Amino acid sequence: MTSMDITATSEWAALARHARELQAAGVDLAGLFETDPDRPGRCTSTAGELVIDWSRHLATDETVELLLALAERAGVAARIEAMLAGEPVNVTDGRAVLHTALRTPAGEAVVTGGVDVAPAIAAERERMGAFVRALCSGERRGATDLPIRTVVNIGIGGSQLGPAMAHEALAAFRSGDLECRFVSNVDPAALAAGLDGLDPAETLFIVVSKGFATAETLANARAARDWAAPVLGFEAAGRHFVAVTANRRRAVEFGIEPYDVFATWDWVGGRFSMGSAAGLAVMAAVGEENFAAMLAGMRTIDEHVAAGPAASVPTLLGLLSVWYRDFWGIQTRAVVPYSQRLRLFGVWLQQVIMESNGKRVRLDGSPVGCDTAEIVWGGPGTDSQHSFHQLLHQGTTVVPADFIVLARPDADVVGVAGAAERHEALVANCFAQAAALAFGSPTAEGDPHRELPGNRPSTVILAPALTPSVLGQLVALYEHQTAVQGAVWGINSFDQFGVELGKTLADGIAADLQAGTAPADTGHDPSTKSLLAHYRRLREL
Ligand code: F6P
């Protein structure tokens, strides 16, 4: 199979020409609004409960037309439809990509490889619910018959980022009966913090690892067992561990009872897995109903996309990122939620976009010939305004920004004195930043130091409140954008071979460190040998 070179198409050439014309004409946002009073309305879209204002982009109607033509030429709609239909679109791993199946309503079939996977999803969801009910009611107790008070999720990457982000985002919906903590880093300080103040008799570990082979997760899971075993006994400590994995055998070998192993599947990519049993800790914290509402929110956007992938909002936003990346030479995108509890959203999104689309070859292995994923970074507003916004406004690098803001304060702070005013201040700051970026300041009395040039693009995503459903909608909005970007570039958004070499090298270096091999006698490259020598010397100081 030979992949199409999208950069060699007339649609790509037309966009390149169009970009050059806009750039030569000095297209500016203020001018776009001045000459087009309908722009704010026309360039505001809805998807589910999300209102997406994309009017402050360096794009005209013609740009959008040309981008949609590019998407059509790239076969974006067909790629998205194939993904939703369970075809093996992850060609390098030979797998379907069916995280959308996790949010399919009960009773609807989802067939992949000739098998309807819906019953397995429903059965696992039921097991998750039963487990959470048993945990919260005290029916599932620890080995010494004490109720479980704390759940510690041990996992990394997709087995932590989404669940930790959702757990934080949905703080207002936690029942409060059970505390949930997340440990990912192999740095011993991470587990130490995760275990601080806990009693092994009242603690349950959820080891989340799709492959159950991730070094950090296994090291932390072993260390957690070593922490619990002296208090509870080795066998009894096993009762304090459950697993979420697609590799049941390895989890059982680790010592987890088969009935305590929750399934995930090959066709759910780790970074898209928060709707699977990988979200067990989230369900434990917020309850089955709220978890279901989050899935329903994701489904709302899936349906929006399925209704017409060619013109959906995620398609448009994905195309705008291609526009900047490939036709404006822009390298990064800032994601700034004006919500304290969405502070981990950008961290989650970094894996979704950068692990998915940080690729340099097309499906057939040929070089892409254009730039792919942008670097995603950011942090919560208003804190971000006192940190990196200076660069957004006056730096020499243009950074398109995504602002996310909620119309109402979080449910649990609505009644707090002054919350409404402070929330309004939050919203005002968000809108002000988008305006300042777009329109800048008039030459401030001729003082160039004070001048903000403006003309810097942003999207504002406005939602009613940070509910489980809205969170699900936001997640799916970005998941689908990522798939659209990948489809345009003709890359596989669903593998991640780039992370493997580092793991192999780390294994070899760790083995040498443990064996005490003299750096010069190792088989590593000269710079690593030199680092090893410095490391030894510093260790011995
Ligand atoms: O970083 C590589 C990666 O494979 C991610 O894709 C994945 O989310 C993470 O490691 C954890 O993998 P696992 O769930 O198999 O432990």
pLDDT tens digits along 107-151: 899 999 999 999 999 999 999 999 999 999 999 999 999 999 999
Residue 144, both tokens? 């010494």
Query: Does the pLDDT of residue 250 top 80, yes or no?
Result: yes
| CB of residue 138 inside a 6 A radius of ligand 1 | no
| CA pair distance 25, 372, nearest whole angstrom | 26
Instruction: Ligand 1, residue 211: give the atom nearest the CA.
Output: 15
Instruction: Report the pLDDT value the prediction gives residue 93, as an integer from 0 to 100.
Output: 97
Which one-letter DSSP state was computed for residue 373? Answer: P
Query: Does the pLDDT of residue 310 top 80, yes or no?
Result: no
Q: Would you place residue 439 in the very low, low, confident or very high pLDDT band (cuts 50, 70, 90)?
A: very high
Which one from 168, 216, 355, 374 is the annotated catalytic residue?
Answer: 355
From the CA of 213, how far away is ligand 1's center (Å)? 9
How confident is the prediction for the chain on average, in pLDDT?
96
Query: Does the pLDDT of residue 17 top 90, yes or no?
Result: yes
Q: Would you place residue 106 in the very low, low, confident or very high pLDDT band (cuts 50, 70, 90)?
A: confident
Q: Is 386 a catalytic residue?
A: yes
Percent of the chain residues past pLDDT 90, beyond the cut: 94
The continuous run of DSSP H or E covering 45 comes out as: strand 44-47
From the CA of 277, how far away is ligand 1's center (Å)? 15
Residue 340, both tokens? 């304290």
| CB of residue 498 inside a 6 A radius of ligand 1 | no
- Mutation to probe ligand 1, out of 183, 206, 210 (largest number of atoms < 8 A from CB): 210
Q: What is the mean pLDDT of residues 17-29?
A: 97
Q: Residue whose CA is closest, atom 10 of ligand 1?
A: 157
Instruction: Report the pLDDT value the prediction gives residue 444, as an integer from 0 to 100.
Output: 64
Q: Would you place residue 443 in the very low, low, confident or very high pLDDT band (cuts 50, 70, 90)?
A: low
* 501-511 confidence digits (pLDDT tens): 999 999 999 99
| CB of residue 215 inside a 6 A radius of ligand 1 | no
Q: Residue whose CA is closest, atom 9 of ligand 1?
A: 157
Q: Would you place residue 344 in the very low, low, confident or very high pLDDT band (cuts 50, 70, 90)?
A: very high
Instruction: Report the pLDDT value the prediction gives residue 540, as an integer from 0 to 100.
Output: 87
Query: Does the pLDDT of residue 176 top 90, yes or no?
Result: no
3 state DSSP class of 123: helix
From the CA of 214, how far away is ligand 1's center (Å)? 7
3 state DSSP class of 454: coil
3 state DSSP class of 47: strand
End-to-end CA distance of the chain: 58
Instruction: Report the pLDDT value the prediction gives residue 406, as an integer from 0 to 100.
Output: 98
From the CA of 493, how far away is ligand 1's center (Å)? 14
Asked if residue 282 lies in contact with residue 125, where contact means CB atoms within 8 angstroms, the answer is: no
Instruction: Report the pLDDT value the prediction gives residue 136, as an integer from 0 to 100.
Output: 93
- Mutation to probe ligand 1, out of 349, 494, 499, 501 (largest number of atoms < 8 A from CB): 499
Phi and psi dihedrals of 444, rounded to 5?
-70, 95
| CA pair distance 143, 513, nearest whole angstrom | 37
Q: Is 288 a catalytic residue?
A: no
Query: Does the pLDDT of residue 52 top 70, yes or no?
Result: yes
Instruction: Ligand 1, residue 270: give the atom nearest the CA.
Output: 8
User: 61-74 and 468-489 helices cross at what angle (nearest 10)?
Assistant: 70
Instruction: Report the pLDDT value the prediction gives residue 109, as an integer from 0 to 100.
Output: 95
Which one from 139, 253, 289, 503 is the annotated catalytic residue?
Answer: 503
From the CA of 107, how far away is ligand 1's center (Å)? 31
Q: What is the mean pLDDT of residues 406-412?
A: 95
pTM recorded for the entire structure:
0.97
Q: What is the mean pLDDT of residues 168-185?
A: 95
| CB of residue 214 inside a 6 A radius of ligand 1 | yes
Q: Is 374 a catalytic residue?
A: no
Instruction: Report the pLDDT value the prediction gives residue 190, as an integer from 0 to 100.
Output: 98
Instruction: Ligand 1, residue 496: give the atom nearest the CA.
Output: 6
Q: Residue whose CA is closest, atom 6 of ligand 1?
A: 270
Q: Residue whose CA is closest, atom 3 of ligand 1?
A: 157
From the CA of 279, how far away is ligand 1's center (Å)? 15
| CB of residue 209 inside a 6 A radius of ligand 1 | yes
Instruction: Ligand 1, residue 214: give the atom nearest the CA.
Output: 16
From the CA of 170, how far away is ligand 1's center (Å)? 24
Instruction: Report the pLDDT value the prediction gives residue 415, as an integer from 0 to 100.
Output: 87
Sign of the CA dihedral 522, 525, 530, 534?
negative
Query: Does the pLDDT of residue 3 top 90, yes or no?
Result: no
